[in-house]
Amino acid sequence: METFSFNKIGVLGRLGSDSVVSTLQRLRHWGAEKGLTLQFDSELQSSMANGSAPVVAFSSRQAIGEWADLIIVVGGDGTLLGAARDMARYEKPLLGINRGRLGFLTDIMPQDLPGAVERVLSGDYVMENRFLLEAQLLRNNEVVGEAMAMNDVVLHPGQSIRMIEFELHIDNQFVYSQRSDGLIVSTPTGSTAYALSAGGPIMHPSLDAIVLVPMFPHTLTSRPLMIDAGSEIRIAISDNNDLPPHVSSDAQSHMETRNGDVLVIRRHPHRLHLLHPSDHNYYETCRTKLGWGSRLGDD
């Protein structure tokens, strides 16, 4: 029997996708052939019901996080973002299989199964340590909402089309007041997502920094601001807003503010350990996903 670096493998996936279920079933059969111990997210149980398939265990995400020494995520980048927020506290490595569109984070393609996964399990991989953000919404100095984000925390007007007003403080120092469509607070991971669309810089994942990108500010001099990842960001919601701004984390969780609230954003204490095949090249990923030019002379 082959010897792998990882033997207790948790499997998470996106619900409601036939292509994801197909890949999950392939992992199910492959794990049985290799004698590996796999536990699948219990939310996938009804989607994977198949009496003739090898029997596998289903567990909650909490149980998988505590038990596994590797977690495979099948889906798109959004699926991995959700898994990262759930699993970061356990500090277990994640490996993404792409069943989405871009695939910045889930970079193993289904046609490369099972070979690419076997190479990773055998120790042929590179690991990136990426940080997340944690956000707290304070009202009268009491916490009324909390969220985590791997890409970004975004202050925005919600469904209304109007500017919002707020003050920005970093490490207890006043930075500026602003009227704009909002502010994107992004990690390096999120710098190729919403922040990029708003004119923010692309940040290499190894940087220990946060970028703040204004959204359509009512001034010509407001530009993206890069700060140390250990900074504390405080955004004070003005009393002059006609409608309460909203806060979104990875565009997957949402909080509604009130005038006078304070949004506090910090680096989360736990990091995500993201595995890639050993031939992974971040710049090649940017080149292929973002349409950068190839080498001169290449077809």
Residue 252 assigned as binding residue: yes
Last residue within a domain, chosen from 61, 96, 123:
123
Domain of 192, in residue numbers: 132-269
Average pLDDT value for residue range 47-76: 86
Q: Given this model, what pLDDT does residue 50 score?
A: 67
Residue 192 assigned as binding residue: yes
Instruction: Answer whether residue 299 is part of any domain.
Output: no
Q: Given this model, what pLDDT does residue 103 score?
A: 75
Residue 77 assigned as binding residue: yes
Q: 23 and 71 share a domain?
A: yes
Q: 96 and 12 share a domain?
A: yes
Q: 155 and 254 share a domain?
A: yes
pLDDT of residue 294 exceeding 50: yes
**Which tens digits make up the pLDDT trace of 203-217?**
999 999 999 999 999
Instruction: Answer whether residue 3 is part of any domain.
Output: no
Residue 46 assigned as binding residue: no
Q: 190 and 118 share a domain?
A: no
Six token digits for residue 91:
């500090």
Among 41-45, 134-138, 166-170, the range scoring the smallest mean pLDDT is 41-45
Instruction: Answer whether residue 286 is part of any domain.
Output: no
Residue 179 assigned as binding residue: yes
Instruction: Answer whether residue 256 is part of any domain.
Output: yes
Residue 196 assigned as binding residue: yes
Answer yes or no: 77 catalytic: yes
Residue 228 assigned as binding residue: no
Q: Given this model, what pLDDT does residue 1 score?
A: 42
Q: 157 and 231 share a domain?
A: yes
Instruction: Answer whether residue 285 is part of any domain.
Output: no
Q: 102 and 220 share a domain?
A: no
Instruction: Answer whether residue 53 is part of any domain.
Output: yes
Q: Given this model, what pLDDT does residue 296 score?
A: 77
Q: 157 and 113 share a domain?
A: no
Q: Given this model, what pLDDT does residue 83 score?
A: 95
Q: 151 and 99 share a domain?
A: no
Question: In this structure, what CATH number is given to the domain that contains residue 161?
Answer: 2.60.200.30
Q: 66 and 169 share a domain?
A: no
**Which tens digits make up the pLDDT trace of 214-243?**
999 998 889 999 999 999 999 999 999 999
Q: Given this model, what pLDDT does residue 2 score?
A: 54
Catalytic residue among 41, 77, 107, 261: 77
Instruction: Answer whether residue 55 is part of any domain.
Output: yes
Q: Given this model, what pLDDT does residue 299 score?
A: 59
Distance linking the first and last C-alpha atoms of the chain: 44
Q: Given this model, what pLDDT does residue 24 score?
A: 92
Q: Under 8 Å CB-to-CB from 153, ≥6 apart: which residues?
A: 133, 135, 147, 184, 185, 247, 248, 249, 263, 265
Question: What is the tally of structural domains in the chain?
Answer: 2
Q: Given this model, what pLDDT does residue 179 score?
A: 96
Residue 125 assigned as binding residue: no
Instruction: Answer whether residue 289 is part of any domain.
Output: no
pLDDT of residue 61 exceeding 50: yes
**Percent of the chain's residues with pLDDT above 90:** 72
**Which tens digits make up the pLDDT trace of 125-165?**
999 999 999 999 999 999 999 999 999 999 999 988 889 99
Last residue within a domain, chosen from 63, 92, 123:
123
Question: In this structure, what CATH number is given to the domain that contains residue 114?
Answer: 3.40.50.10330
pLDDT of residue 33 exceeding 50: yes
Average pLDDT value for residue range 20-39: 90
**Which tens digits make up the pLDDT trace of 62-117?**
999 999 999 999 999 999 999 999 999 999 999 999 987 777 888 898 888 889 99
**Percent of the chain's residues with pLDDT above 70:** 95
Q: 60 and 169 share a domain?
A: no
Q: 89 and 154 share a domain?
A: no
Average pLDDT value for residue range 27-33: 90
Residue 4 confidence class, pLDDT cut points 50, 70, 90: low
Q: 177 and 233 share a domain?
A: yes
